[in-house]
Amino acid sequence: MADHNHDLRPPDQSPTGEFDHEIDTGRIGKLSLALAILVILGFVFVIPVIRVLKSQHAQEQATPSPFAAQASEREPPKPHLQVNEPRDYEAFRHEEAAKLESYGWLDTQQTVAHIPVERAIDLVARHGLGVVATSSPAPSTGAP
């Protein structure tokens, strides 16, 4: 059999350091140094800007807008947001329970009243609901 060379490297490359002649370590070092200097200069210039912006923000927060005083005196338009939902719901349930357990008038002419639910149940159980009168057509005589 013939001797075959299984080394696929070009003849000008050394077996110990492939492509060493294409890497420029001097340029990489200079680029890294320039990048580090830019980062440091960025911090040097940004820190005073942040301090100035913080002081301006503090001054703006210290003096309220003249419109804020007017707005705090006015009530916002309805519907209002609920501040404490459980408390509001409990008050609503209490009002509804008070209506269901008391006597009162439903209209201003005092023609329709409401009674407690328990009393209404007792009255219906004792007397029934009653018959609702309906108008029925007159009986036909058979002549057209």
Q: Where are the domains positioned within the chain? A: 26-62, 91-127
pLDDT band with cut points at 50, 70 and 90 for residue 59: confident
Separation between Cα atoms, residue 114 and residue 26, nearest integer Å? 97
Separation between Cα atoms, residue 113 and residue 104, nearest integer Å? 6
Q: What is the pLDDT of residue 93?
A: 95
Q: Which amino acid is at 103?
A: Y
Q: What is the pLDDT of residue 106?
A: 84
Phi (first) and psi of residue 18, to 5 degrees: -75, 135
Q: What is the pLDDT of residue 36?
A: 96
pLDDT band with cut points at 50, 70 and 90 for residue 7: low
Q: What is the pLDDT of residue 44?
A: 93
pLDDT, mean of residues 62-75: 70
Separation between Cα atoms, residue 29 and residue 6, nearest integer Å? 37
Q: Who wins on pLDDT, 65 or 42?
A: 42
Q: What is the pLDDT of residue 63?
A: 72
Q: What is the pLDDT of residue 112?
A: 87
* pTM, full prediction: 0.33
Beta strand spans in 25-143 (E): 104-105, 113-114
Separation between Cα atoms, residue 96 and residue 116, nearest integer Å? 11
For the chain, the average pLDDT equals 79
pLDDT, mean of residues 20-45: 89
Does the pLDDT of residue 47 top 80, yes or no? yes
> Rounded to whole angstroms, what are the CA distances from 18 to 9, 10, 12?
9, 10, 10
Closest CA to 101 of 89, 118, 126, 113: 118
Is-contact 113 105, C-beta < 8 A?
Answer: yes
pLDDT band with cut points at 50, 70 and 90 for residue 38: very high
pLDDT, mean of residues 69-77: 70
Does the pLDDT of residue 4 top 60, yes or no? no
Closest CA to 123 of 112, 133, 131, 115: 115
Beta-bridge partner residues of 105: 113
